[in-house]
Structure 1
Amino acid sequence: MNAMMRRAVIGTAAVSMALSMAACGSAGGDKKADKPTAGSTTSKNIGLLLPENSSSIRYESFDKPLFTAKVSALCSDCKVLYNNAQGNTATQKQQFDALISQGVKVIVLDPQDANATKSWVEEAAKKGVKVVAYDRFAAGPVAAYVSFDNEKVGELQGQALVDALGDKAKDANVVMINGAETDPNAGLFKKGAHSVLDSKVKKVVYEQSGEWDPKTAGQKMGAAITQLGKKGFQAVYSANDGMAAAIITALKGAGIKDVPVGGQDAASDAIQRILSGDQAYTIYKAYKPEAEAAAEIAVNLLQGKDVKSVATDTADSDTAKGVPSMLLPAKVVTKDNVKDTVIADGLYKVSDICTAAYAKACADAGIS
């Protein structure tokens, strides 16, 4: 599929308007959100449900405020009713049902467990509620899908690990710590990474799911060290930065040095680890165009407009074919291009990255 991206620079996001549904407030909802009043109108409300906030900071720091700001710019009297599942599928189901019960007609859903959503989306469709799959392809008859070309992301990860190994790649054994098996994106990352690694390294000698959980990833890395020995592998593929942090800690704890570890999400601490030499690379996915495309599609659906002016591509899931989609490209970030990517695009300010502990590393990379 051809990836498409509207060039944008991260700006200051407007203050997010959020709502914690009474039906799920005790099950992990956003405790800071305002509760609805009985009988309140919901005709201009758009639901936003994000999956977790433990393994990646992106959802709370970028996706939520960027999405909310764009909705506000497009529809001044619209509200975003937001909740985060905090890694719990049952919680997200309660949040989803609560939005429908309050009359919300458009829900932007990043599923905690994409396979679990088929019946949710089907029931929503029967009630005239349109669901936009965000970042992950939710199962069921979704109205649109906004994400990245995720198989290509995996290819970028695999090639970046090969590049980090350099001349040692052809003789290298690799450990792979993948994302959660309930996440269709994790499968695409894995597929893309294997398409590169299987022909360019000696062998993938250990492969497990880290479940998008840093603690689990650290445990799996410990098991790999025990099984393979300290010299039994030469590189580690980590599906995201949160798990990469735990993997790097496990490697250091075992006294293992000079083993490149990659990640994904361009988390600020990952950028710092890249500058200090602890992490080889990350994958930068520009959240602003993704969040803004989802917001524009959601407002169009709410207003009865065609979404194909934004969702100019199509994509297939296991349960839906030809879904109008916006698929965005991604970039590899290494020490050599931190300045020209996440800083140039305004994802982070220099002061966010170049704290006292990383001042020398920033200077060495030409960042000031």
Structure 2
Amino acid sequence: MNAMTRRAVIGTAAVSMALALSACGKAGGDSEEKRSSTKIGLLLPENKTARYEALDKPQFEKAVKDACRHCEVVYNNAASDVVKQKQQFDQLVADGVKVIAIDPVDSAKAAGWVKPAQDKGVKVVAYDRAIEGADAYVSHDNYKVGELQGEALIAALGAKAATAQIVMINGDEKDPNAALFKQGAHIALEGTVGKIAYEASGEWDPKVAGEKMSAAISSVGKGKIGAVYSANDGMAGGIVTSLENAGIKGIPVGGQDAEVAGIQRIVAGTQTFTIYKSPMDLAPKAAEFSVDLLLGVPILAQRETNGVPSSLLDPVVVDKTNIQSTVIKDGIYKAGDICTKELAAKCAELGIK
């Protein structure tokens, strides 16, 4: 019996018992509390990045149902508003939800929510971003993400790397993952490229990233930029638009998240690579931890991160050579999602089908 099957059997038995007890209990608050105990909260941080609604949410919901058929996911998106996310978190606690998987808008602030929730019997799974004091943490190796981004940019530059001037558009400074991406990228780039000529935060906002790219062009010089590091694909879209508006073509631009728009830019040749952090791995692992915590099953963690049982997954570089063998093979996208009429010929050249 594999781990997910074991959890499904345990989950079905445990939750069925809870429902049976609920049916025998008194009407009103007692039975409502028992019904709430079959619910798992999922709080995601923002909707500017397409992956959360398109990939993370449905994969998490599917994995919970696969492991615990009576369990229900209660979902909310904070739309980048930490106050809104706190209200969503508090409402889940007030409603008697016993496990909350949360990708925080602000990890430092979210850390202050954990202990009061735990005092009420609520378990907290830190999803993608670490939260101090959480009961479990699931993410990709975010330092490695940054390293891979830097290394892929160097590989794309080839012999030009040693003299290239690099522009770095980082993620939101309130996001601890952004700091890890930046740190990993700096380690890869420094001493290998000519220099990092301009660096700023794009705040995970394509519009802001585009504005910062325009500022970098003015600062560094139109013909002097060798490559652009973008912390994610959403911002890469704004960056590519600014480059095109300035008449700059053919320089490497990296990203992250394997968004369909980013993959399309790779096919078109305006973006060089992205980093694929598969929700096929991340969301199911977070769902597994959540169901285990709900049912009182010991979680199977790889390591500890600041004392929190953790699972850190491996990211993958995706460029024009491996789109078919990564995001399409995994079922994240179909060829038709990527290959618009305008991209059909280039998709055929790359063997995307």
Q: Same-fold call, TM > 0.5?
A: yes
Aligned to 1:339: 324
Q: Distance in 1 between matches of 2:279 and 2:96?
A: 28
Partner SS, residue 108 of structure 1: strand
What one-letter code is carried by the residue in structure 2 that aligns with 1:108? A
Aligned to 2:93: 100
Q: CA deviation at 1:225?
A: 1.0
What one-letter code is carried by the residue in structure 2 that aligns with 1:336? T
Larger Rg: 2
Partner SS, residue 147 of structure 2: helix
Q: Map of 1:106-121 to 2, 5 A cutoff?
A: 106-121=99-114
CA displacement 1:256-301 (0-9 Å, x = unmatched)? 1122110000011111110111001000111112111111111111
Q: Distance in 2 between matches of 1:331 and 1:96?
A: 32
Match of 1:77 among 48, 70, 73: 70
Query: Is the 8 Å Cα contact of residues 280 and 330 (structure 2) preserved in structure 1?
Result: no
Aligned to 2:350: 365
Q: Distance in 2 between matches of 1:66 and 1:287?
A: 7
CA displacement 1:167-208 (0-9 Å, x = unmatched)? 100000000000011111101000000001002101001110
Match of 1:59 among 47, 52, 57: 52
Q: Distance in 2 between matches of 1:300 and 1:266?
A: 29
Match of 2:302 among 300, 312, 324: 312
CA displacement 1:26-55 (0-9 Å, x = unmatched)? xxxxxxxxxxxx95431111110000111x
Tell me whether 1:48 sits opposite 2:42 in the alignment. Answer: yes
CA displacement 1:1-26 (0-9 Å, x = unmatched)? xxxxx9xxxxxxxxxxxxxxxxxxxx
Aligned to 1:353: 338
What one-letter code is carried by the residue in structure 1 that aligns with 2:57? K
What one-letter code is carried by the residue in structure 1 that aligns with 2:82? T
Aligned to 1:13: none
* Structure 1 runs (4+) greater than 4 angstroms displaced: none
CA displacement 1:198-241 (0-9 Å, x = unmatched)? 02101001110111111111111111111122023211000000
Tell me whether 1:174 sits opposite 2:162 in the alignment. Answer: no
Partner SS, residue 242 of structure 1: helix
Match of 1:214 among 188, 201, 206: 206
In structure 1, stretches of 5+ residues that fail to align are: 1-5, 7-37
CA RMSD of aligned residues (A): 1.3
Query: Is the 8 Å Cα contact of residues 125 and 141 (structure 1) preserved in structure 2?
Result: no
Tell me whether 1:257 sits opposite 2:249 in the alignment. Answer: yes
Q: Distance in 1 between matches of 2:43 and 2:317?
A: 28
Partner SS, residue 216 of structure 2: helix
Q: Distance in 1 between matches of 2:69 and 2:352?
A: 39
Match of 2:267 among 256, 259, 275: 275
What one-letter code is carried by the residue in structure 2 that aligns with 1:227? S
In structure 2, stretches of 5+ residues that fail to align are: 4-27
Partner SS, residue 100 of structure 2: strand
Tell me whether 1:246 sits opposite 2:238 in the alignment. Answer: yes
Partner SS, residue 337 of structure 1: coil
User: TM-score if structure 2 supplies the norm length?
Assistant: 0.89
Partner SS, residue 225 of structure 1: helix
Aligned to 1:327: 312
Q: Distance in 1 between matches of 2:259 and 2:342?
A: 17
Aligned to 1:20: none
Tell me whether 1:162 sits opposite 2:150 in the alignment. Answer: no
Query: Is the 8 Å Cα contact of residues 214 and 246 (structure 1) preserved in structure 2?
Result: yes
Q: CA deviation at 1:312?
A: 2.3
Q: Distance in 2 between matches of 1:290 and 1:266?
A: 14
